[in-house]
Amino acid sequence: MKSKPIIRPQTLTLIVILVLAFYFWSQHQEIKRLRQASIQQNQAYSDLQSALYQSNRVQNQQTELVHELVRRVPQTDPSIVLIVDKLDKLAALFTPISLKVAMEIDSAGKLLRADQPVQAIATMAKILENILKIWFEKDEEFQKLHQKKSTVNFGNLISHALDKGLFTPQQIAFLKELKGIRNESAHELDVRKPKSYLLSCQEKCIDLIKCIIPRFSLT
């Protein structure tokens, strides 16, 4: 007596058809998901580009205003004039090393001349952040720690400088203080600080950058 097959051919064919149908459906869903993700990514990139454009536009307008203020109203405060002169000399020292850094230092001087001391300090913080970035470009330990990060922030740089003992405790404390002022000026409106405090910060920035120049010039 012949045994009956466990699965009839028609049933097996139906199963195969259903499996293939599910496979193609799942592939279609995956392609659809990837397309949607791509559209969202492109939209996010477009939004980011638009935000950067608007930010650069505002920054350029502010820069033009500062230049106009400097041209029309020369700074007469002796304490500010003294620091601006130091910034000009610092920019001259950096010109053969890094023209971009020299230009940013010159920009900080213009902001100070235009009675924008908080913005001037924020610019000096940006300068120090970028000096440290360039300095650590050849630091294998730093690069290994942060190679998976899309961006490296000022805090990462300060922490590494602390771990490596590159600055005194007082200098590290000042860098952290500087980072705080920069963040405050970037996220809050009409930030105000005592003039004497801001000018003291400018002096410390200049002294700290002068200390870094010999090491920076070797990178």
**What is the average per-residue pLDDT within 17-28?**
81
Contact of 66 with 110, CB cutoff 8 Å: yes
pTM across the whole model? 0.66
pLDDT tens digits, residue range 175-193?
A: 999 999 999 988 888 888 9
* Residue that is written with structure tokens 């199963």 in the block: 15
Cα separation, 119 vs 107, in Å, equals 10
Cα separation, 168 vs 82, in Å, equals 26
pLDDT of residue 167: 94
**What is the average per-residue pLDDT within 166-175?**
95
Residue 62 burial (10 A CB sphere; 0-12, 13-18, 19+): middle
Cα separation, 79 vs 202, in Å, equals 11
